[in-house]
Amino acid sequence: MWFKNLQIFRLPNSGELTLEAIEARLAGHPLQPCEGGLPSSFGWVPPCADGALAHSVDRQWLLALGSERKLLPASVVKRHVKDRARLIEEDEGRRVGRRELRDLHAAITQELLPRAFVDKRTTHAWIDPAGGWLAIDAAAPARADELIEQLHKAVDKLRILPLKTMRSPSAAMTDWVADGEAPAGFSIDQDMELRSAENAVVRYARHPLDGEEIRAHIATGKVVTRLGMTWGDRISFVLDDKLQLKRLNFLDILKESTEGQAENEEERFDLDFALMAGELARLLDDLLAALGGEPPPR
């Protein structure tokens, strides 16, 4: 159980949550099969083998949102609409108008959906109720939005806010690269993206970021929008200007710390999750400090 990406949120009223309450609310919204003419379905599934919808280890919680989507390529629907319109023109001797084409498109979509293949996915979320963190393992914000929408449906009074910091990630990353000095506890790696006000983009991969060329880009007004970093020699990642962490890599020195401690797969899962959650909580605290902390509540 190792997350690959982090979409980060705050839970202002997380102290009011209990595991039992979360479990009961999620149980009312389980994943249902995407059958018939439904294009998609969402619901909660057990994140591990114990069957619980809210898995807890050392007061860290793990949730899993399941989704099923019908795969119906637009090209297939378009071909069927074209064939149906041609038959109408031949049989009735008239041209099919735009409105009728739209109606045909909707009707044929409903006809084909029951026969479409189903794509199944699971999106995991980690909740640290003591620290007030919610982190979703999703590369795209849309996947995180899906989970948050379903979590709001299940737990209606839960407040979920995007993480905000006093310094913008882009401004901070630009200063770190320009000064050649990472914030305390971090080091700068060799991957970076710079962007100008005109949207010109320069990318570096596995390239030293301490040369005059880099500083020249910054001097002309480009700002850093993605930066590879390592925290505490334990976790490497790419931070972007939206405060998302991508390409998380839990380094071997971290994973090896639990080698030989588990007797079965269930214990291995719990050890890995507890280790990941504890390390991510400390990483997020340090990253928050590096970005000037959070704005005072209004």
Chain segment 122-148, per-residue pLDDT in tens? 999 999 999 999 999 999 999 999 999
Q: Kindly list the domain boundaries of the chain, sorted by start residue.
A: 74-114, 169-290
Is the CB of residue 286 less than 8 Å from the CB of residue 185? yes
Closest CA to 46 of 69, 62, 28, 24: 62
Give tens-digit pLDDT for 38-53: 788 999 999 998 889 9
**pLDDT score of 218:** 93
Given a cut of 90, whether residue 110 has pLDDT beyond it is no
Q: Which residues, at least 6 apart from 43, have a Cβ–Cβ distance to it below 8 Å?
A: 29, 30, 31, 32, 65, 66, 150
**pLDDT score of 195:** 96
Q: Which residues, at least 6 apart from 212, have a Cβ–Cβ distance to it below 8 Å?
A: none
Integer Cα distance of 210 and 180 in angstroms: 6
Given a cut of 80, whether residue 149 has pLDDT beyond it is yes
Segment (H or E) for 134: strand 133-136
**pLDDT score of 31:** 95
Cα dihedral 145, 147, 153, 158 sign: negative
Given a cut of 80, whether residue 117 has pLDDT beyond it is no
Integer Cα distance of 278 and 128 in angstroms: 9
Q: Which two tokens stand for residue 24?
A: 């009961």
Give tens-digit pLDDT for 244-278: 999 999 987 666 766 767 778 888 899 999 999 99
Which of the 8 DSSP states describes residue 120? Answer: E
**pLDDT score of 113:** 75
What's the farthest any 2 CA atoms get from each other in the chain? 77
Mean pLDDT score, 223-235 = 96
**pLDDT score of 257:** 67
**pLDDT score of 274:** 92
Q: How confident is the model at residue 179 (pLDDT cuts 50, 70, 90)?
A: very high
87-101, 102-116, 221-235, range with the lowest pLDDT: 102-116
